[in-house]
Amino acid sequence: MRVKSFVVLILAATAVAAVGLLIPGCEKTGAGKTDMELKDKKHGDQVVLSPEVVKNIGLTIGQPMHVILKQKFIAQGKVVVNPDYVAHLNSLVTGRVRKIYVQIGDYVKQGDPLFELESLEIANITADYIRAKAEYNAQKANYERIKALRAEDIKAEKDLITAKAKYERAAAELKAAADRKLHSLGFSDEDVETMFSTKEHRRGILLVKSPISGYVTERNIELGQLIQPDTDIMKVIDNTRIWVEAGVYEKDYSHLKIGQPVTITATALPGKNYKGKVIKVNKELQPESRTFKVFIKIEKGKAELIPNMFTTVTFEYTTPDSVMVLPEEAVQFDGSEYFVFIHADSTTFVRRDVTIGEKMDSLVVIKEGLGSTDQVVLRKAFLVKSEMEKGSFGEGGGD
């Protein structure tokens, strides 16, 4: 019995083993296999692509270019008037506005009347002047009379000296009154000349004329307004004489040069741009904006630019010599190195590490690693890189 059951067990075990063999193994997914074996062979940093594939995907192959690379940086700015062509008008004395000749926006020529000011101080100064003039005239006559008499030896030398001193003092006083005070107030020589011919009641009135030709851009007075010496009365600017002021950031300072060409665009004038040149650089860094003020002279078309318009200024500079460049698309990056693909023979593409420099307008400067005659993949190099890395990127799925 025992032996028999043993035999039974053995045979049962055989049956079990037989069944065990039939238990399925592992999946061999026909549809799941990748296309590796159908693809071109490759190893390491080399990719093999058939000419048809190269044509189909539109790889462009060529030599690197050599160009003098134009580079640029950008600064924000605004249109300002050349400070030489700005005139502020104000009064040294307290007075009342008697008459205004112009409105904001009027164009005035140099010397055109702007307004009239009526002032007690002016009247006093005028009176002083007239008095000094009278005194001068009197002393002058006296001196000339004594001088004549002295010549005939009628008067003593002492008298002549006294008269001369008086005359000279009167002349100095007249000069001071006329030149310093009247001219300071704004009277011209003719005004002073004609002062005696004008009527008595006009003697406290000052007619202010435009010192430059230009547009009246400010008029802060109304008729009869009492003005103080600190009142800004009017401003005349010549807006044909404009500059652009731009703030250049520290990072760009080293590329800044007097005479550097720039291109200017204005927010208000979309689609237009203006050429200019750097004429002055303020060597002081503005502490709040952290910028250097740069003044730019516009070469053409400046009549369209209005002061205070916002502008964007593009500063251009070039590399000193011609440099080797490639389209940005040609240069690939793997996390640590930049590289390009060299078309080694009709089907082989080899990776070549390069050192890159500046980038500008989708061109990259190649500093090292490439010869001028190398055949480089210029466009769609990304696809070549994908093919090279394909072995390693595996199933990237949503696993």
Partner 1 sequence: MIKKIIDFAARQRLLVIVFTFLLIVVGFISLKKISIDAFPDVSPVLVQVFTEAKGLAPEEVEKLITYPIEVAMNGLPDIREVKSISSFGLSVVSVYFEDNVNIYFARQLVFERLQQARGDIPEGLGDPELGPITSGLGQVYQYYLEGRGYSLMELREIQDWIVKFQLRTVSGVTGVLSFGGEVKQYQIRLDPVLMQKYDITLDEVLDVVKSNNRNVGGNFIVRHSEEYLIRGLGWVSSLKDIENIKVVRRNDIPVFIRDIAEVTFGPEIRRGLVSMNNRGEVVSGIVLKLLGENTSTVIENVKKKVEQINAMLPEGVQVIPYYDQADLVKKATDTVKDALLEGGILVVVILLLFLGDLRSAFIVTITLPIAALTAFILMYYMDMSANLMSLGGLAIGIGMMVDGSIVMVENIVRHLSERSVEGGKTIPVILQAAREVGRPIVFAISIIIIVFLPLFTLQDVEGKLFSPMAFTISFAMLGSLVMSLTFVPVLCTFFFSKGFKEKKNVLIRFLQSVYIPLLEKVLKRRVQVTVVAVLLLIGSLALVPFLGTEFVPILDEGTLSVRVTFAPSTSLQQAAEISQEMEPLLMAFPEVEYVISRVGRAEVGGDPEPVNNSEIYIILKPEDEWTVGSKTELVDKMRRKLSQFPGVLLNFTQPIQMRVDELLSGVKAQLAIKLFGEDLDVLTRKGAEIQSVVSSIPGAADVQLEQITGKPQVQIEVNRDRIARMGMNVDEVQEVIETAIGGSTVGQVFKGQKRFDIFVRYKKPFRDDVEKIKNILISTPDGGRIPLIQVADVRLIVGPKQISRDNSQRRISIQCNVEGRDMGGFVAEAQKRIAEEVALPPGYYITFGGQFENQQRAMARLALIVPLTILLIFIMLFSTFNSVRNAFLIIMNVPFALIGGILALYLSGLYLSVPASVGFIALFGVAVLNGVVMVSYFNQLRDEGLDLHDAVVTGARLRLRPVLMTALVASLGLIPLLFSTGTGSEVQRPLATVVIGGLVSSTLLTLFVLPALYGWFEKRRVEF
Q: Interaction with partner 1 in 259-298: which residues (CB under 8 A)? A: 267, 286-291
Q: Interaction with partner 1 in 67-106: which residues (CB under 8 A)? A: 74, 76, 78
For residue 61, the cross-strand partners are: 377
Per CB under 8 A, the list member of 12, 127, 176, 303 interacting with partner 1 is 12
Nearest Cα to Cα of residue 247 among 44, 42, 77: 77
| Main-chain phi, psi angles of 187, to 5 degrees | -80, 140
Asked if residue 197 lies in contact with residue 221, where contact means CB atoms within 8 angstroms, the answer is: no
β 310-318/323-327 pair status: unpaired
What is d(CA 110, CA 108) in angstroms, rounded to the nearest whole number?
Answer: 7
For residue 323, the cross-strand partners are: 67
Residue matched to tokens 């192959």? 61
Strand spans (E) along 238-303: 242-249, 261-266, 269-286, 291-298
What is d(CA 394, CA 280) in angstroms, rounded to the nearest whole number?
Answer: 60
Identify which of residues 110 and 289 has a Cβ nearer to partner 1 in the complex: 289
Per CB under 8 A, the list member of 6, 10, 15, 183 interacting with partner 1 is 15
Identify which of residues 85 and 317 has a Cβ nearer to partner 1 in the complex: 317
Residue 394 is a binding residue for partner 1 (CB under 8 A): yes
Per CB under 8 A, the list member of 53, 212, 279, 281 interacting with partner 1 is 53
Q: Interaction with partner 1 in 338-367: which residues (CB under 8 A)? A: 359
Q: Which stretch binds partner 1 (CB under 8 A): 141-149, 159-167, 234-242, 381-389?
A: 381-389
Q: Which stretch binds partner 1 (CB under 8 A): 82-90, 99-107, 170-178, 243-251?
A: 243-251
Q: Which stretch binds partner 1 (CB under 8 A): 27-35, 102-110, 165-173, 299-307?
A: 27-35
Per CB under 8 A, the list member of 10, 13, 127, 161 interacting with partner 1 is 13
Per CB under 8 A, the list member of 49, 86, 108, 364 interacting with partner 1 is 49
Helix (H) or strand (E) holding 228: none
Per CB under 8 A, the list member of 35, 157, 200, 345 interacting with partner 1 is 35
The least distance separating partner 1 from the CB of residue 242, rounded to whole angstroms, comes to 17
Q: Which stretch binds partner 1 (CB under 8 A): 23-31, 81-89, 186-194, 340-348?
A: 23-31
Identify which of residues 55 and 175 has a Cβ nearer to partner 1 in the complex: 55
How far is C-alpha 81 from the geometric centre of its chain's CA atoms? 14
Asked if residue 182 lies in contact with residue 126, where contact means CB atoms within 8 angstroms, the answer is: yes
Per CB under 8 A, the list member of 41, 201, 251, 300 interacting with partner 1 is 251
For residue 73, the cross-strand partners are: 315
Secondary structure of residue 19 in the 3-state scheme: helix
Q: Two tokens at 34? A: 């990748």
Q: Interaction with partner 1 in 161-190: which residues (CB under 8 A)? A: none
What is d(CA 135, CA 359) in angstroms, rounded to the nearest whole number?
Answer: 81
The least distance separating partner 1 from the CB of residue 26, rounded to whole angstroms, comes to 4
